[in-house]
Amino acid sequence: MKHNQIKLIAAVALGVSLGFIACKPKNVGDAISSDAAAKAYVAPGKYDQFYNFVSGGFSGQMSVYGLPSGRLLRVIPVFSVDPEKGWGYSEETKPMLNTSHGIVPWDDLHHTELSQTNGEIDGRWVFGNANNTPRVARIDLKTFRTAEIIELPNSSGNHSSPFITENTEYVVAGTRFSVPPDNVNGDVPINSYKKNFKGTISFISVSKEDGNMDIAFQIQCPGVNFDLSHSGKGKSTGWFFFSCYNTEQANTLLEVNASQRDKDFIMAVNWKKAEEYIKAGKGRKQSVKYAHNTYSDKTHSATSTIKTEVTVLDAKDFKDLCYFIPCPKSPHGCDVDPTGEYIVGSGKLAALIPVFSFDKIQKAITAKDYAGEYDGIPVIKYESALYGEVKKPGLGPLHTEFDGKGFAYTTFFVSSEVVKWNIQDLKVVDRVPTYYSVGHLCIPGGDTKKPNAKYLIAYNKITKDRYLPTGPELAQSAQLFDISGDKMQLILDFPTIGEPHYAQAVSADLIKGNSVKFFKIEDNANPYVSKGEGTTKVVRSGNKVDIYMTCIRSHFSPDNIEGIRAGDEVYFHVTNLEQDWDVPHGFAIKGANNAELLIMPGETQTLKWVAEKPGMFPFYCTDFCSALHQEMQGYLRVSPVGSTVPLLFSTGKNLPPAEAATAPATGDKK
Amino acid sequence: MIGLQGHLKLKIVIPTEMIKGEFHLAIKNNKNKQMKKLMIIGLLALFAAACGGGNSGEKTANHEKSEAESAGGNPSYDPNRGEGKFKSVEVGATLNAPMAEAGGKIYAVKCSSCHKTTEEKLVGPGWKGVTSRHQAPWIMNFITNTDEMINKDPKAQAQLEICLVRMPNQNLADNDARSLLEFMRRNDGIK
């Protein structure tokens, strides 16, 4: 009896301890050293060393963090509406979200990429991609605002984007879903994939002066799923590398059916060659429909233009344009080291990391050392392109960044760790656990010629027990590692918005001095600007009423408006007359079915508001602006349809009470 | 320590309203620099000691409005000139009409929301008589270096107590400021 009891207790104890061990990630005790807090500490009032531009994933926005503190500095609205900032709600910003499908108020922003000159980050712009309704956005880092969005025809699921060439000549976009091209009837059986579906990659040119984007050309490729990409650099200048999976060309249950082949591909594209063909008129004009939207800091408004043509090169017609390189097990990350010699493929299901050599690829091409063709495109022999394999690095490699000191850092989703390895001898030199299931990672400049490798940030997909519970949904965690020494050292966890995918970071010195503090009111060219209270007015034309309004600490002008009738479409054109930093004014009116306005100093923004029914509608400033902010308010009176109440507007006038004005009760029961 | 304070006047100016702005720590002393340094260290030590001693009530250094000395009492501060880049301003005996005209345009955009050209106070004081109440450099400094003047200048501070809204810095270029002054002069009857 006693013996049995002991056995039972021992079994329970063993079970409990096993359970405990199983739940705890390995090395949790060693993960944080005592000086971690000091390393991530930025004293109040002090600036961070780095800006970190983090994709907002399914929030559709881009967030900006300071490093090493992990402080959230700003959320930049990009592809999703943001009522807080009036983005997508003000008349001026609505066209930014226009597409060939009309206004699209949400998207999924996966990757960020900072503009480069000579392969180094230049701090001018940051690009983001829309994964769902394929688009690329350019954000101006003088204003931290989305300046331009371009839609991509012949695409569905713009995933391998917005990666750029060394001088930001091009931003690329590869379709995740192959689909029938836009100029043919897409109403075909889904299982005709192999026959009808094509994969398109786009090269979007970026103007050196103003960043203006234009689709220079597209390359039509076999129907596969394009996943990620990176530009060649240094010796591989002029080349671009795209990973792709589903070379099985499955159209259902891809989880199983697209994992059949031992190897999929990395596609090497000679874009300099593509430029030559385009110049020689070898491209075919294809009729399509896509939106190109730009935002002007002069008119403080966006313009959307629908474009109708792209130039397409068919990959199979040009034997020296695209080459497939076999890459094990559904490659995801496709990363090029700072010298441009090594291309690292990461097979999501692989237990090794293949490293390809640009020199060997060139030799193989010259020697036509091909294993065959895939849909008319040469397939280079795996061994002929391979520099070597990192053996047993971990499970499920996803993405790699570089430190410029000869090391690569690869994330492993399945084994939940970051692994540091030597690019030359392919030996693993360090590994750290992440909490949990890391996706992308970022080293400042980690995909450029000149990494600034002080920190590494891991963006995790699973949070579980890292933060206080907040119901079923948790903020996804980012983790900051100090990588200045031989060993990676975890120093901070911080929460993110949406789901962070790729991110980029750059020394703050490159950006902070260029930040715009306010817009010059003299330069405001919005057609509805009021330059001074003397120019404010209310203009009726039919049932449309334009209210030209100003705001300054702390009043609106006009702030009493009468003579509006039920059913009127009222446009509040609000100009902020302030000319100082950090003094936006907000504008909100009762019953607005859209959002507020947040108007930067010197800017004009417009809110559309429909007068629903007679009554009194107050409006007020939403952004605390001065001691008398709470006094910053006004009234708009709405009279019935056909009312003869004259159109009146004023500020600061103490008019005698109109007639004998007691409001008649309309809703009282007698 | 108290004796030392007699030599070193420390003034911490905190805006009485909630405002997005900077706090200025103005140390005024005409003793030699070495002495000043020592005293700063001493005073800081005093603050540190107060904090270390658990005195974390409302009267911490940051919230206390220390009325050590008014700026007017500092011999290095010229209350007629104000604080700013303008030491002297050349003003003609007669009006520069084109300049006043230009100033009127700036007034309409950047100033008229809060200032009338009569004596009537709107958000800020009316402009009638402003050129006789203040000297030209003071006006120029005030409209171009607004925050610092409000933090420092006794007349500006007295005005703030009446208006309760800190005048926004409207980022006027030097020549804009000069044009505005000419507009004020015209408004005050200079021909």
The residue type at A621: C
Give the per-residue pLDDT at A653.
Answer: 79
Q: Is the pLDDT of residue B48 over 50?
A: no
> In angstroms, rounded to a whole number, what is the distance separating the alpha carbons of residues A54 and A57?
9
- Interface probe for A, chosen from B16, B113, B123, B167 (most Cβ of A below 10 Å), is B113
Q: How far is B74 from chain A (nearest CA, A)?
A: 29
Q: Is the pLDDT of residue A8 over 60?
A: no
Instruction: Name the β-bridge partners of A334.
Output: A345
Q: Provide the pairing of β-strand A597-599 with A604-610.
A: unpaired
Give the per-residue pLDDT at A318.
Answer: 95
Cβ contact A532–B112 (<8 Å): yes
Cβ contact A582–B20 (<8 Å): yes
End-to-end CA separation in angstroms for chain A: 86
Q: Tell me the ipTM for this assembly.
A: 0.78
Q: Which two tokens stand for residue B90?
A: 């050349």
Handedness of CA A326, A329, A330, A334 (dihedral sign): negative
Handedness of CA B78, B80, B85, B91 (dihedral sign): negative
> In angstroms, rounded to a whole number, what is the distance separating the alpha carbons of residues A219 and A212?
21
Angle among Cα A240, A242, A246 to the nearest 5 degrees reads 160
| Domain identity same for B34 and B112 | no
| Mean pLDDT across A327-349 | 95
What phi and psi values does residue A341 have, to the nearest 5 degrees? Answer: -85, -35
B115 contacts chain A (CB < 8 A): no
> In angstroms, rounded to a whole number, what is the distance separating the alpha carbons of residues A540 and A547?
9
B170 contacts chain A (CB < 8 A): yes
User: What SS3 class is residue A260?
Assistant: coil
As a whole number of angstroms, the longest Cα–Cα distance in chain A is 101
A577 contacts chain B (CB < 8 A): yes
| Domain identity same for B107 and B53 | no
| Mean pLDDT across A106-110 | 98
> In angstroms, rounded to a whole number, what is the distance separating the alpha carbons of residues A49 and A526?
37
> Which of B108, B164, B168 lies closest to A628 in CB terms?
B164
CB A500 within 8 A of CB A477: no
> Which of B122, B166, B171 lies closest to A579 in CB terms?
B171
Domain count, chain B: 2
Q: Is residue B91 part of a domain?
A: no
| CA proximity to A73, closest of A94, A49, A93, A92 | A49
B109 contacts chain A (CB < 8 A): yes
Which residues on B lie below 8 Å from A549 (Cβ)? none
Cβ contact B166–A652 (<8 Å): no
| Domain identity same for B175 and B115 | yes
CB neighbours of residue A383 within 10 Å: 11
> Which of B114, B165, B169 lies closest to A627 in CB terms?
B165
> Which of B108, B109, B168 lies closest to A553 in CB terms?
B168
Query: Which residue has 């007015």 as its token pair?
Result: A537
CB neighbours of residue B141 within 10 Å: 25
B126 contacts chain A (CB < 8 A): no
Give the per-residue pLDDT at A22.
Answer: 38
Q: Is the pLDDT of residue A9 over 60?
A: no
Q: Is residue B90 part of a domain?
A: no
Q: Is the pLDDT of residue A499 over 80?
A: yes
| CA proximity to A172, closest of A126, A231, A123 | A231
Parse chain A into domains and list their residue ranges.
52-514, 523-650
Q: Is the pLDDT of residue B24 over 90?
A: no
Q: How far is B180 from chain A (nearest CA, A)?
A: 15
| Mean pLDDT across B45-68 | 38
**Distances in whole angstroms, Cα of residue A575 to Cα of each of A532, A533, A598, B165:** 9, 10, 10, 20
Chain B contacts in chain A segment 299-318 (CB below 8 A): none
Cβ contact B19–A550 (<8 Å): no
| Domain identity same for B119 and B54 | no
Which residues on B lie below 8 Å from A575 (Cβ)? none
Cβ contact A557–B113 (<8 Å): yes
> In angstroms, rounded to a whole number, what is the distance separating the alpha carbons of residues A611 and A634?
16
Give helix B97-106 / helix B174-187 axis angle, nearest 10°. 100
> Which of B109, B122, B169 lies closest to A521 in CB terms?
B109
Q: Is residue B6 part of a domain?
A: yes
- Report whether the peptide linkage leading into residue A558 is cis, meaning its omega lies within 30 degrees of zero: yes
> In angstroms, rounded to a whole number, what is the distance separating the alpha carbons of residues A241 and A228?
8
Q: How far is B120 from chain A (nearest CA, A)?
A: 12
Of B28-32, B165-169, B170-174, minimum mean pLDDT range: B28-32
Give the per-residue pLDDT at A144.
Answer: 98
| Mean pLDDT across A58-64 | 98
Q: How far is B90 from chain A (nearest CA, A)?
A: 27
Instruction: Name the β-bridge partners of A347.
Output: A331
A557 contacts chain B (CB < 8 A): yes
Q: How far is B17 from chain A (nearest CA, A)?
A: 5
| Nearest-by-CA chain A residue for B146 | A580
What phi and psi values does residue A443 have, to the nearest 5 degrees? Answer: -120, 135
Cβ contact B113–A550 (<8 Å): yes
Q: How far is B29 from chain A (nearest CA, A)?
A: 27
The helix (H) or strand (E) run that includes residue A633 is strand A633-639
CB A452 within 8 A of CB A442: no
Chain B contacts in chain A segment 519-548 (CB below 8 A): 520-522, 531-535
> In angstroms, rounded to a whole number, what is the distance separating the alpha carbons of residues A359 and A279?
27
B169 contacts chain A (CB < 8 A): yes
| Domain identity same for B61 and B113 | no
CB B9 within 8 A of CB B29: yes
> Which of A535, A550, A583 lies closest to B168 in CB terms?
A583
| CA proximity to A63, closest of A510, A475, A396 | A475
Q: Is residue B77 part of a domain?
A: no
Task: Specify the length of chain A in residues.
Answer: 670
A626 contacts chain B (CB < 8 A): yes
Q: At B47, is the pLDDT very low, low, confident or very high (cuts 50, 70, 90)? A: very low
| Domain identity same for B131 and B177 | yes
> In angstroms, rounded to a whole number, what is the distance separating the alpha carbons of residues A75 and A497?
9
Which residue range is the domain that position B64 belongs to? 2-69
Q: Is residue B46 part of a domain?
A: yes
A129 contacts chain B (CB < 8 A): no
| A458 CB burial (10 A radius; 0-12, 13-18, 19+) | buried
- Interface probe for A, chosen from B16, B18, B109 (most Cβ of A below 10 Å), is B109
Domain end among B69, B87, B110: B69
- Please write the tens of the pLDDT for every residue from A608-643: 999 999 999 999 999 999 888 999 999 999 999 999
- Please write the tens of the pLDDT for every residue from A386-410: 999 999 999 999 999 999 999 999 9
Chain B contacts in chain A segment 237-256 (CB below 8 A): none
| Mean pLDDT across A331-360 | 96
Q: Is residue B79 part of a domain?
A: no
| Nearest-by-CA chain A residue for B16 | A627
Give the per-residue pLDDT at A257.
Answer: 87
User: What SS3 class is residue A582?
Assistant: coil
**CATH no. of A523-650:** 2.60.40.420
Mind giving me the DSSP string for A307-345? Answer: EEEEEEEEGGG-TTTEEEEEEESSEEEEEE-TTS-EEEE
Q: How far is B6 from chain A (nearest CA, A)?
A: 31
| Domain identity same for B106 and B181 | yes
Q: Which CATH number fits domain A52-514: 2.130.10.10, 3.40.50.1820, 3.40.50.970, 1.10.10.10?
A: 2.130.10.10
Angle among Cα B151, B152, B154 to the nearest 5 degrees reads 110
Q: Which two tokens stand for residue A520?
A: 């010059």
% of chain A beyond a pLDDT of 90: 89
| Mean pLDDT across A213-238 | 98
Q: How far is B151 from chain A (nearest CA, A)?
A: 16
Give the per-residue pLDDT at A668.
Answer: 53
Q: Is residue B141 part of a domain?
A: yes
| CA proximity to B123, closest of A512, A288, A519, A553 | A553
Q: How far is B44 from chain A (nearest CA, A)?
A: 18
Give the per-residue pLDDT at A669.
Answer: 53
Q: What's A489-522 look like in SS3?
A: EEEEEEECCCCCCCEEEEEHHHCHHHCCCCCCHH
A555 contacts chain B (CB < 8 A): yes
CATH number for the domain spanning B179: value is 1.10.760.10
**Distances in whole angstroms, Cα of residue B63 to Cα of each of A396, A459, A570, A629, A642:** 55, 40, 45, 21, 57
Q: Is residue B129 part of a domain?
A: yes
**Distances in whole angstroms, Cα of residue A640 to Cα of each of A157, A477, A542, A615, A647:** 49, 54, 15, 9, 13
Chain A contacts in chain B segment 136-165 (CB below 8 A): 164-165
**Distances in whole angstroms, Cα of residue B108 to Cα of each of A577, A590, B167:** 11, 30, 16
Cβ contact A555–B108 (<8 Å): no
> In angstroms, rounded to a whole number, what is the distance separating the alpha carbons of residues A507 and A452?
8
Q: How far is B92 from chain A (nearest CA, A)?
A: 28
> In angstroms, rounded to a whole number, what is the distance separating the alpha carbons of residues A586 and B112?
21
Q: How far is A555 from chain B (nearest CA, A)?
A: 8
Q: Provide the pairing of β-strand A301-314 with A213-222.
A: parallel
- Interface probe for B, chosen from A522, A548, A582, A585 (most Cβ of B below 10 Å), is A522
- Please write the tens of the pLDDT for every residue from B98-114: 999 999 999 999 999 99
| Nearest-by-CA chain B residue for A524 | B109
Does residue A89 or residue A665 have the better pLDDT?
A89
% of chain A beyond a pLDDT of 70: 93
